[in-house]
Amino acid sequence: MSTDFNQVPAFSHPPESWHTIDWSVVNRQVRGLQVRIAKATREKRWRKVKALQRLLTHSFAARTLAVRRVTENRGKKTPGVDGELWSTPQAKWLALGRLKRKGYRPAPLRRVYIPKTDGSRRPLGIPTMRDRAMQALYLLALEPVSETVADRNSYGFRPWRSTADAIEQCFVNLSRKHSAEWVLEGDIKGCFDNISHDWLLAKVPMDKHVLKMWLKAGFMESRQLYPTEAGTPQGGIISPVLANLALDGLEKVLESHFGKKNTKASYKTKVNYVRYADDFIITGISKELLENDVLPVVTAFMAERGLTLSTSKTLVTHITEGFDFLGQNLRKYNGKLLIKPSRKNLQRHLSKIKDIVKVNRTSRQDILIKQLNPVLLGWANYHRHVVAKETFGYVDYRVWKLLWRWSCRRHGNRQKRWVKKKYFHSVKSENWVFQSTLLPGKPVRLLSSKDIPIVRHTKIRAEANPYDPRDEQYFEDRLERSWKASTKGRKKLQTLWTRQGKRCPMCRSVITWETGWNVHHVVERHKGGGDELSNLVLLHPNCHRQWHAQQENSVAGLSLKRLIKA
């Protein structure tokens, strides 16, 4: 299938294959159009927004980014109903010519189910690779709009925002002596499955024809086609942004009824709103205010969008009783707000660890450690911004009990002193360190939750917009702080990242934890290159593959050393 390049006048030498694409030009073109879309949105020039979105979705640069996204994310090996995957450079290159609006018709979703924490199962629809890429393409044009019109205190499924930002905003709203003491915990019944199609088609600023086809595509289950009459295609790349657009606006509605923050009206009601995806809380000065005044406003807002609140899970709670939000418990003790890991979240974490140990009854010690470490580290990193030191110690104690039982079970006829000597060691000032020394090289050690430092999270500025050039330096500074904090103890990685100006020298776009990276040897090891800093470069995974493809095909590559110096 041929690929047309009529939309890419900025390429001095049009690419002829996937590995000859100039990603620096691609990123610059797409970023420029996204900034213009965000500006037109701020100025409420909706015809201009529509024209720029069309220009972006028809551009070659946007198509390449869309294909790269769906072939590098975690779902790249999960096919849709057609069983197709784009795993080779040739398949990716041919896919570019298929991302056209004319003649496009999405395939039904492949329905699968994933378990929920309460024992039930959540339905998930998996689009085909082509449909995922088309959604990623239109998302490039829709996200600048959604970020510009988003509620200030909405934190879910948005770039640069996280659960830590939402929790920190809760702390801001509830921690002071004269803060609100009552909290409305909102729970939307089947949010993704029940959003009104009519509302989305009327209000979402994107190509209505394409959006309608996605919403009405249906899903396949047990080889039978089922229609979709409501909800967004859960599992699709664009679904979270559609849900955010549906739920955005509630903060402004509340402000119109109860006063904007830091005004006289707001001091009387103390109504503040925080949302992460479809979970939200609203604070208030009294239980009666939340039940009789705030709740009807929220219910009416949701009804317009085809949504309802769960009567059993939508609760009004006093702050001294505490409430759970995003896996953490917020509660005031003698007038002081403390945020800790919630009991349910802790129990799920311990249950997961127990299952891993149980499955690995007969595995080697180093294999068990390698399976436990990511789980322990991920959970501790999630809770490291709150009052969790005591909980971390309790987790370490429970893990030790599980591992001691695991060790003794394997050697029932041995003395406990022998078992301890085999599996648990003394490292510096620490005793009972679960560590494997069987394999040559560096010992494999179990991570300890209590070793994760507790660090207060710096909340993102509410009005910051990643598509506004005025906020570019702000996001650069946040990226630098978060990178240094997350790579603490990895000086070589920090040095490489700083030396390169935080960017990949191939495509000139920022290297983050989300994009990932590969450590490239300028002079390869089999040619005598070593691991010294002067011979190492950080590249995006796709750029790394492109570099080696150019060398194999004898294509004149760029000098990485020269690019870094530039």
Region of poorest pLDDT, from 119-123, 161-165, 180-184: 119-123
Predicted local distance difference test score (pLDDT) of residue 437: 83
Predicted local distance difference test score (pLDDT) of residue 115: 79
Alpha carbons 357 and 342: distance in angstroms, whole number:
23
The residue written with tokens 């056209």 in the block is 100
Predicted local distance difference test score (pLDDT) of residue 532: 83
pLDDT in tens, 376-394: 999 999 999 999 999 999 9
Give mean pLDDT, residues 478-482: 88
Higher pLDDT, 90 or 7: 90
Q: Quick one: three-class SS letters along 534-553?
A: HHEEEECHHHHHHHHHHHHC
Predicted local distance difference test score (pLDDT) of residue 121: 79
Region of poorest pLDDT, from 10-14, 128-132, 151-155, 400-404: 10-14
Does residue 556 carry a pLDDT above 70?
no
Query: What kind and span of H or E run contains 478?
Result: helix 472-486
pLDDT in tens, 404-430: 999 999 998 899 999 999 999 988 888
Predicted local distance difference test score (pLDDT) of residue 1: 38
Q: Which pTM does this prediction carry? A: 0.88
Q: Please report, for residues 115, 372, 402, 411, 478, the alpha-carbon distance to residue 353 in angstroms, rounded to integers and kept in the order given.
A: 17, 7, 9, 21, 33
Top mean pLDDT of 185-189, 437-441, 531-535 is at 185-189
User: Phi, psi at residue 333, to the nearest 5°?
Assistant: -115, 110
Q: Please report, for residues 93, 138, 327, 514, 528, the alpha-carbon distance to residue 71 in angstroms, rounded to integers and kept in the order given.
A: 11, 16, 31, 14, 33
pLDDT band per the 50, 70, 90 thresholds, residue 2:
very low
Predicted local distance difference test score (pLDDT) of residue 160: 92
Alpha carbons 65 and 512: distance in angstroms, whole number:
16
Alpha carbons 285 and 266: distance in angstroms, whole number:
10
pLDDT in tens, 274-333: 999 989 999 999 999 999 999 999 999 999 999 999 888 899 999 999 999 999 999 999
pLDDT in tens, 424-472: 998 888 889 999 887 777 889 999 999 899 999 999 999 999 999 999 9
